[in-house]
């Protein structure tokens, strides 16, 4: 319930400019989740990450690609950007780095939710 409320508040408080909004709410088998507005793929958080710091690199990042931000993208409200140690910039939501799951194939897939007991789909 708390994750749902946090994600909903984050979407409500982000910039209203459509181009600046990289997130979208989409329907899935587990209810409404947060996805990349660009490709519609579900976003996930990793319980082993620290606040505003990713701990997913190498093989982990192959399976769980970071949701990267362009150099021109700007943080807004609950939506932030961190610098990864591999040089990429990664979107965060409330300080939690965001990732895709390589196992998801289509918009609304949530096959990564609960993987290893440490990956969670971001619910809306």
Per-residue pLDDT reduced to its tens digit, 39-56: 999 999 999 999 999 999
pLDDT in tens, 71-106: 999 999 999 999 999 999 999 999 999 999 999 999
Higher pLDDT residue, 87 or 19? 87
- How buried is 67 (Cβ within 10 angstroms: 0-12 exposed, 13-18 middle, 19+ buried)? buried
CA neighbor of 98 nearest in space, from 40, 49, 62, 63: 49
Is the pLDDT reported for residue 7 higher than 70? no
Query: pTM of the full predicted structure?
Result: 0.85
pLDDT computed for residue 21 by the predictor: 81
Q: Which helix (H) or strand (E) holds 82?
A: strand 79-83
């Amino acid at each position: 319930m708390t994750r749902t409320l946090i994600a909903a508040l984050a979407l409500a408080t982000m910039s209203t400019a459509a181009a600046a909004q990289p997130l979208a709410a989409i329907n899935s088998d587990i209810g409404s989740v947060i996805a990349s507005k660009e490709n519609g793929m579900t976003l996930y958080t990793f319980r082993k990450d620290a606040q505003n710091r990713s701990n997913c690199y190498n093989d982990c990042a192959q399976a769980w690609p970071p949701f990267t931000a362009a150099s021109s993208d700007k943080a807004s409200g609950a939506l932030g950007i961190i610098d990864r140690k591999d040089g990429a910039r990664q979107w965060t939501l409330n300080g939690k780095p965001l990732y895709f799951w390589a196992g998801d194939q289509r918009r609304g897939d949530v096959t990564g939710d609960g993987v290893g007991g440490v990956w969670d789909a971001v619910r809306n």
